[in-house]
Amino acid sequence: MKMMTSNLNLYYGEQQALYDVSLEIPQNCVVALIGPSGCGKSTFLRTLNRMNDLIGGVRIDGRIELDAVNIYAEDTDLVTLRKRVGMVFQRPNPFPLSIYENVIYGCRVHGLKDKKRLDEIVERSLRRAALWDEVKDRLQAPAMGMSGGQQQRLCIARVLAVEPEVLLMDEPCSALDPISTMKIEELVQELKQAYTIVMVTHNMQQAARVSDYTAFFLNGKLIEHDVTDTIFTNPQDRKTEDYITGRFG
């Protein structure tokens, strides 16, 4: 799997939100998107599985390629695209269903009905999300009764159940306590063995801990991107250095 953007521009009506963003996303790596609020990093993240299509007045030019195919081509099947490029949102958003039904929701949407196969998917997905041992004896319990950290891992399991290739995470720890945050970070490190992960974070320490590559956005522009260790120890752009060291603004 190879994903990259080339000269990507995005407009909300007449207002431009992204400017000529070109970024290669390496396979089986964690790419952290950092930058101040309103800099375009979440907007950029949502372009990678066309979630911005749900917003009226959005216009995009440039290319985003998944395995050398432009995902903004007219014949793109959005259901298939969002199966390949899954998304975990800032706040846990489990459905008002059981834990079991939450995990297999996407599988049912795609027409899978075999009970044995669904059972296998539930166990595999919950294990991958480091949640199986905590919930295996209460799979029919309401998902809304879980803790916030468990709900977020359940949402990750729900995405993993449909076998994506890319996992998008929009500040997945911002609503969680430190212990739950640590579990999510450990999970991200495990998941990159099988998935490519792009994560938006405001937490510089988190970006340094979990990512292999870091991209710094400012005012809708990609200012700098490199190996994370390089970005944090030897940034090439003064704006990047100021942001990382807290002198920004």
Residues 119-134: what's their mean pLDDT? Answer: 95
The model's pLDDT over 197-236, given as tens digits with 9 standing for 90+, comes to: 999 999 999 999 999 999 999 999 999 999 999 999 999 9
> pLDDT band at residue 19, thresholds of 50, 70 and 90?
very high
Q: Where are the domains of the chain?
A: 3-244
**From the centroid of its chain, how far is CA 106?**
17
CB 44 within 8 A of CB 33: yes
User: What is this structure's pTM?
Assistant: 0.93
> pLDDT band at residue 60, thresholds of 50, 70 and 90?
very high
Sign of CA dihedral 154, 159, 163, 168: negative
Q: How far apart are CA 213 and CA 226, in angstroms?
A: 6
Q: Is 134 or 246 the better-scoring residue by pLDDT?
A: 134
The model's pLDDT over 146-180, given as tens digits with 9 standing for 90+, comes to: 999 999 999 999 999 999 999 999 999 988 889 98
Query: Which among 214, 213, 159, 216 has a CA at the least distance from the CA of 191?
Result: 159
CATH architecture for segment(s) 3-244: 3-Layer(aba) Sandwich (3.40)
Instruction: Using only the alpha carbons of the chain, give its radius of gyration.
Output: 18
Query: Which among 35, 34, 38, 40 has a CA at the least distance from the CA of 21?
Result: 40
> pLDDT band at residue 249, thresholds of 50, 70 and 90?
low
Distances (CA, A) of 186 to 87, 107, 179, 190, 228: 18, 26, 11, 7, 17
Q: Which two tokens stand for residue 41?
A: 């990093």
Mean pLDDT of the chain: 94
